[in-house]
Amino acid sequence: GTAGAAHAPAWPVLMLHGFGADGTIWQPLESALDHALGAGHGHEMLRIDLPGHGRSPRRRIAGFAALARAVVEAVDAADCAPVHLVGHSLGGAVALALADIRPRAIATLTLIAPAGLGPEIDGEVLAGLGRARRAASLAPWLRRMVGDGALISDDYARAAMRGRAGAELRAVQADMAEALFPDGVQGF
């Protein structure tokens, strides 16, 4: 480029995880971006834990509209717009809703295996995730959720189980699964 040429702003990258996960799921992507773009690329990486996940309050969500509204409120409170929005699975469905509700807040939208694009969902996986009380019982369900189950190590399953160790969190997520995926289908 020429001296003094305008550069695109380094807008933050806002990441929304899928059901049963939390913001820590994005750490490998953040590392890959730092490697690909250089550690000083200037894009702040922001993660929002969906309600009832990670460090977010254990609040019950009545349905998808309430979930989307809670995330819109969190994004509004963060006052970080515009953002490059990345959503995975349920986070992808929420990202679509956010882009619809706050279109000017979204610079770009990236969806990874997004939910909400049809009625199909693997209800057995959701039930298995909800029932799992140990890493050994969680691991097979995590492996079923990815293209190559070998990528989900026992260490990863143990770390994921630590994030799901609380009975209250599992109960809130079970209620959310029933509200969002009644009878094993996507209800939104």
pLDDT surpasses 60 at 106: yes
Judge contact between 128 and 161, C-beta under 8 A. no
Within 13 Å, how many C-alpha atoms sit on residue 132's CB side?
25
Judge contact between 107 and 75, C-beta under 8 A. no
Least confident of 85-89, 97-101, 134-138, 166-170: 166-170
Measured in whole angstroms, how far is the alpha carbon of residue 138 from the centre of its chain?
18
Q: What is the mean pLDDT of residues 8-37?
A: 86
Q: What is the mean pLDDT of residues 98-117?
A: 93
pLDDT tier at 2 (50, 70, 90 boundaries)?
A: very low
pLDDT surpasses 90 at 4: no
Non-local CB neighbours of 8 within 8 Å, separated by 6+ positions = none
Kindly report, residue by residue over 120-146, the tens digit of the pLDDT: 888 888 888 888 999 999 999 999 988
Q: What is the mean pLDDT of residues 138-158?
A: 92
Q: Where are the alpha helices (DSSP H) in 7-52?
A: 27-37
Q: What is the mean pLDDT of residues 107-123?
A: 89
Q: What is the mean pLDDT of residues 138-157?
A: 92
Give the CA radius of gyration of the chain.
Answer: 17
Percent of the chain with pLDDT over 90: 48
> Taken in order 50, 157, 29, 177, is the CA torsion positive or negative?
negative
Q: What is the DSSP letter of 13?
A: E
Residues in the chain: 188
Other beta carbons less than 10 A from residue 94's beta carbon: 27
pLDDT surpasses 90 at 98: yes
Q: Where are the alpha helices (DSSP H) in the chain?
A: 27-37, 64-78, 90-101, 123-131, 135-144, 154-163, 167-180
Kindly report, residue by residue over 49-95, the tens digit of the pLDDT: 999 998 888 888 889 999 999 999 999 998 988 999 999 999 999 99
Other beta carbons less than 10 A from residue 170's beta carbon: 18
